[in-house]
Amino acid sequence: MSDGVWKTLRNCLGKAACRPSEPSGSELYVVAGLGNPGAAYEKTRHNVGFEVIDRLAERLGAGAEKKKFGSLVREAQAEGRKLLLVKPQTFMNRSGQAVATVLGFYRLGLERLLVVTDDAALEPGRIRLRAKGSSGGHKGLADIIEKVNSEEFARLRVGIGSCPSESMADYVLSRPSAQERVLLERAAELAAEAVLCWVRDGIEAAMNRYNSRERAGFPEGTEPEKNGLENPDETRNP
């Protein structure tokens, strides 16, 4: 082995930052979908963030799922950039530690983070992106805001609607009807498109393109059933 090759190898072994298996933080984007771990919560309304991550992984041919950072993580390539697809496994109201750990490990700024979550203030099938904002009562978002000490990160909300006749906790942790399921699957596909637009063109362009009724799958002139929550910041998710 030549002196030059040996010196390079020795430097790599001596530096924690030299990890060929890890994507470079300088070119990495993190998409964190929120939900609750375990089979009991699969396909529930509160887990639509996980579904968007799974849809993205399938669409991008992502690598194998790994357990790290308190999450299930997959790596993918999109728009010439590297994506880390993250599903925190710490339950919804403790999502912040997993997200903060990922950002800290790769030394990423909040501009590289997009959080995908459910939203009871939007009708099933609607999606909405925002560049920043409050948690709107969503405990997963609230915990992320607390752990990163900022509201300055993008989020993509997927509408699940609400049901005034039952408690919100029971509603979000239950599975949707067959009709709602069709709308949620359509929304998950649209949300995956919106994520790729964010990676390629930024949050403002993604907002302009996807924050409309028509893009959400509702034909012009039609109006989905109202759920009584018009303001997206009024989300009341447990």
- Which pLDDT tens digits describe the chain residue by residue (238 residues)? 445 434 433 443 344 333 434 554 558 999 999 999 999 999 988 999 999 999 999 999 998 999 999 999 999 998 889 999 999 999 999 999 999 999 999 999 999 999 999 999 899 989 999 999 999 889 999 999 999 999 999 999 999 988 766 687 888 888 988 999 999 999 999 999 999 999 999 999 999 999 975 555 554 444 444 433 334 343 444 5
Q: Is residue 47 within 8 Å of 176, Cβ to Cβ?
A: no
Give strand ranges (E) for the chain.
Answer: 28-33, 66-68, 71-78, 81-88, 113-119, 127-130, 154-159
- Say which of 33, 35, 44, 46 is annotated catalytic: 46
Domains (ranges, CATH) in the chain?
23-216+227-234 (3.40.50.1470)
Q: State yes or no: is 138 an active-site residue.
A: no
Pairing, β 71-78 against β 66-68: antiparallel
